[in-house]
Amino acid sequence: QLVESGGGSVQAGGSLILSCEASGSGFSISSMGWYRRTTGKERELIATITSEDSANVRDSLKGRFAIFRDAAKNTTFLQINNLKPEDTGNYSCNAMCYDYAFDDSGSYRRYLEVWGQGTLVTVSS
């Protein structure tokens, strides 16, 4: 299960840190990502981070968005600086989870993609 938090109403130029906490057992997480759906646009990928802390941010959002995580707390964060009205939207995180299964060839990973409910960000000018 993924639970996002940290959204809210802010004025343009402000900053927010969104959190995505993963809970559950039986699976490991290979990577997590933040997405958003803004007014009139399709859902877009913002940033991803792997379990090895390899982080990537969408080119058009670099400079204002940063992704990082606290592995001990199973939490991934999205920091947004210099917020703009066009950043208004629903921000959600997902996780690529996996466990191991076995067949005649040996063990292999089974992947499961999990989504959170999202947190709303509203930026006023």
> Cα(78)–Cα(28) distance, rounded to whole angstroms?
21
Among 26, 34, 20, 33, smallest CA distance to 98 is for: 26
SS3 state of residue 60: helix
Residue 76 to residue 91: CA distance in whole angstroms: 13
Q: Is the pLDDT of residue 40 over 90?
A: no
Could you report the per-residue pLDDT of 63-106, keeping only the tens digit for each?
A: 999 999 998 888 999 999 999 999 999 999 999 999 999 999 99
Length of the chain, please? 125
CA distance 121 to 14: 12
- Average pLDDT of the residues of the chain: 94
